[in-house]
Chain A
């Protein structure tokens, strides 16, 4: 009898712990379901013919397919009474974001361009800085510099994004405007630089890991053959660490794309379609952050904001998956094998 009770507690402990572990998985499924669920009225109400997958494709492939989609939706539109457009495909692919007006425009193009623009600026700054600083730390730096640099990076990673956003809004925006003589104080450039602050720790940490994981015998062989430290770093260490560094950049892009508070505070939030880096932009994440609190539940605007969230989710999900593959299949395995 003693023994039986014993086994029961054992059994229960294992089952309860396993069940709890499943909560993470359950919530990933729930996030998928509930974020996509709120976008469904867009596809069912105005145009029943448009399926979910079709829509997703249009968003990811962007401009290339947009013209076809427009034609298709125009054909469909002709058969309909054009009173309120709702969130038709034509409306979603237009270049105007005016959700609060008598004839709301839900064009996602300026928002997608905005997100891409700001992320691109952020990554163009963060990638060189992060990777080279990581190379310095892992390959060149004396011990004291290493030990000083790592806590600094951790501090930077620990900055709440709202603090970076605040600094960008109050200090950096004025500084950059004065330095370049810009028309707008808040613009894509300021937002991108501020975003780089948040991305650098990710790129640094993962790149540093990758560089430090390059087998010692490779570098020693190179040094023994007479190569200098920098030749070894450039021609042996960096190539061997490339997959990890590449993964770090991809994760950085994902972070930049999804970050909300920094861009909400520092980019000016005007939904413009332009290639000018010094004009205000409105990103996808900032649009959700700024507008979700004011929309009425169940309205088209509400559903479109969830659609933007779904796109963000899918995009970062894909990037993380790609990065994961690169981290796992490190090129280093090749070197180790021989």
Chain B
């Protein structure tokens, strides 16, 4: 009798166990299914329109035909200017946090708090800040100070303000990645350098930075990937619907891939007719962010391997 009860319990336990195993497994599988279906759909939809002419041509006939070359160049310029502004600041901040700051000091905690907060601010609020600070405050201020013709030079949306807004948004990405890389530099290396009589700054410059250069690269790449994908911050800080020419200077507006997708999919006069272009543009953006993320993952993998050996 007791034996029977025991075996009954075992089956019950096994059934419950199987269910409890199957449900989480199903949800994990669901995520994979979603990712695969989104990717398949976009690759299938965009593949046929993705030609060399499309990549290297300008939009034609009211953006119903032609390519996306200006948007690719605009995105490229955006992330380059963004990186020039953001990566050095992010790297130095990470060096401060991991090398100079004592973890309990108020200053270090303030900065850490600021970085965490920056990471949590919605992208659209960065856009508002870019408009209120860079364009209306800094830009208009420069206009008043340097030009007397009363026209707008810097006090309007342009690629510089959009890039700086984006640099701010991607700053936490850089800081976190570089800090992680610096942490992987063994303490013994630092101690050896200091024991040999090198100063703190010499140690950082000659030992810490060269050994964490891969991490800095990873941070930069992740930031570029994030910056290329965000649209909300540039909606009103510099992106343009259509431009007949490429931006000539920092005070010009620019076309951008993500913004192009948004415009083509929602505001185009004939949304259905340009579906091929929309898909192909989305595919280009997806390939771009994937390539960037993949190289970041690859670099990080190499970095981890180095630690082990």
Contacts and interface: CB of A to CB of B under 8 A. Distances in A.
Interface of A: 6, 9-10, 13-14, 16-18, 20-25, 27-28, 30-31, 34-35, 37-38, 128-129, 132-133, 135-137, 139-141, 145, 148-149, 151-156, 158-167, 169-171, 197, 200, 204, 228-230, 233-234, 251, 254, 257-261, 264-265, 285, 288-289, 292-293, 297, 305-306, 309, 312-313, 316-317, 319-320, 324
Interface stretch (B19-27, B59-67, B76-84, B143-151): B19-27
A132 B42 contact: no
Contact of A230 (B20, B129, B131): B20
B100 A18 contact: yes
Nearest to A16: B92
A297 B121 contact: no
A317 B27 contact: no
Nearest to A153: B31
B128 interface: yes
A320 to B, nearest CB: 4
Nearest to A269: B266
A166 to B, nearest CB: 5
B124 A288 contact: yes
B30 A129 contact: yes
B87 to A, nearest CB: 12
12 contacts: A17-B95, A23-B93, A24-B171, A34-B129, A35-B128, A129-B30, A159-B38, A159-B289, A160-B231, A167-B38, A170-B278, A204-B31
Contacts of A204: 31
Determine chain B's interface SS by DSSP, over half rule: helix
Given A24-B175, A292-B131, 13 more contacts: A10-B200, A18-B96, A21-B97, A24-B114, A24-B118, A25-B113, A25-B114, A34-B137, A133-B24, A140-B25, A160-B289, A162-B231, A162-B261
Q: What are the 5 closest A-B residue pairs judged by CB atoms, nearest first?
A: A258-B122, A160-B229, A230-B20, A136-B24, A21-B96
B231 A13 contact: no
Given A161-B231, A230-B17, A312 B175 contact: no
Contact of B261 (A129, A166, A200): A166
B265 interface: yes
Given A20-B93, A170-B275, A285-B122, A132 B23 contact: yes
